[in-house]
Amino acid sequence: MGIKYAQLKPCYPFPLSFSQLAYVKMTRFPLAPLLLSRFPIKLIMIKSILLRHETKPFEERSPLTPKQAQILIEEGHKIYVEKSPTRVFKDEEFQRAGCHLLEAGSWKTSPLDTIILGLKELEDEDFDLSHRHIYFAHLYKGQDGAHKTLERFRNGDGKLYDLEYLVDENKKRVAAFGIWAGFVGAALGIELWCRQQLGETANDWNNVETYKNEDDLIKSQEKWLSKVGSPRVIVIGANGRCGRGAKDLLNKLNVSATYFGRKETKSENLQREILKHDILINTVLMTSKTKPFLTAENLKSERRLSVLSDVSCDPTGEFNPLPFYSQCTTMDQPAISIDTGKRFDITAIDHLPSLLPRESSEDFADQLFPHLRTLLSGKISNSPWERSLELFYKNIFKTQSSLIVKEIYQ
3-class SS string, 53-77: CCCCCCCCCCCCCHHHHHHHHHCCC
Confidence tier at 116 by pLDDT (50, 70, 90) = very high
Q: For residue 42, what pLDDT is reported?
A: 45
Which amino acid does the sequence have at 98? G
pLDDT on residue 281 = 98
Percent of the chain residues topping a pLDDT of 70? 86
4-48 pLDDT, tens digit per residue, is 333 333 333 344 454 455 555 444 444 444 444 554 544 445 589
* pLDDT tens, residue by residue, 285-329: 887 888 899 999 999 999 999 999 999 998 888 888 999 999 999
Mean pLDDT, rounded, for 255-279: 94
In terms of CATH architecture, what is 178-348?
3-Layer(aba) Sandwich (3.40)
Looking at residue 142, its pLDDT comes to 81
Distance separating alpha carbons of residues 277 and 190, to the nearest angstrom = 12
CATH of domain 5-173+357-409: 3.40.50.720
Question: Residue ranges of the domains in the chain?
Answer: 5-173+357-409, 178-348
Res 32: pLDDT:
45
Q: Which sequence positions are flagged as catalytic?
A: 120, 138
Predicted model pTM: 0.79
**Tell me: the pLDDT tens digits for 370-394?**
999 999 999 899 999 999 999 999 9
Secondary structure of 4-30 in HEC code, one letter for each residue:
CHHHHCCCCCCCCCHHHHHHHHHCCCC
Percent of the chain with pLDDT over 90: 77
Q: For 245, left (φ over 0), alpha (ψ -120 to 50), or beta?
A: alpha
Burial class (CB in 10 A: 0-12, 13-18, 19+), 70: middle
The pLDDT tens digits of the residues spanning 117-136 come to 999 999 999 999 999 999 99
Which pLDDT tens digit goes with each residue over 50-97? 999 999 999 999 999 999 999 999 999 999 999 999 999 999 999 999
Q: One fold for both 5-173+357-409 and 178-348? A: yes
Residue 310, Cβ density class (10 Å: 0-12 exposed, 13-18 middle, ≥19 buried): buried
Report pLDDT for 402: 54
